[in-house]
């Protein structure tokens, strides 16, 4: 009887330990996937910010060009 209880307790401990290790592996995998996704998004954000800055510079350049053209047209009408 005592031997069966010892075997049952040992099996329960082995099961708990196995479950804990399995759970830890899954948590580590999910953490790594999350970090990879965050890195990808940070890279994409950097690319989008760069593209936005370039577009804003182009817009400013076009505004300046338009202002010069309007100035030249207004001087020509006078």
Q: What is the pLDDT of residue 58?
A: 97
The residue extents of the domains of the chain are 18-78
Say whether pLDDT at 78 is over 70.
Answer: no
**One-character DSSP codes across 54-77:** HHHHHHHHHHHHHHHHHHHHHHHH
In angstroms, the CA 15 to CA 12 distance is: 5
In angstroms, the CA 29 to CA 33 distance is: 6
Say whether pLDDT at 59 is over 80.
Answer: yes
In angstroms, the CA 44 to CA 51 distance is: 11
Say whether pLDDT at 72 is over 70.
Answer: yes
């Amino acid at each position: 009887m005592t031997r069966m209880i010892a075997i049952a307790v040992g099996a329960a401990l082995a099961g708990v330990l196995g479950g804990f290790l399995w759970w830890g592996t899954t948590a580590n995998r999910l953490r790594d996937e999350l970090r990879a996704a965050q890195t990808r998004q940070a890279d994409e954000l950097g690319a989008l910010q760069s593209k936005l800055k370039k577009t804003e510079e182009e817009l400013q350049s076009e505004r300046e060009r338009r202002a010069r053209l309007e100035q030249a047209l207004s001087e020509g009408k006078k």
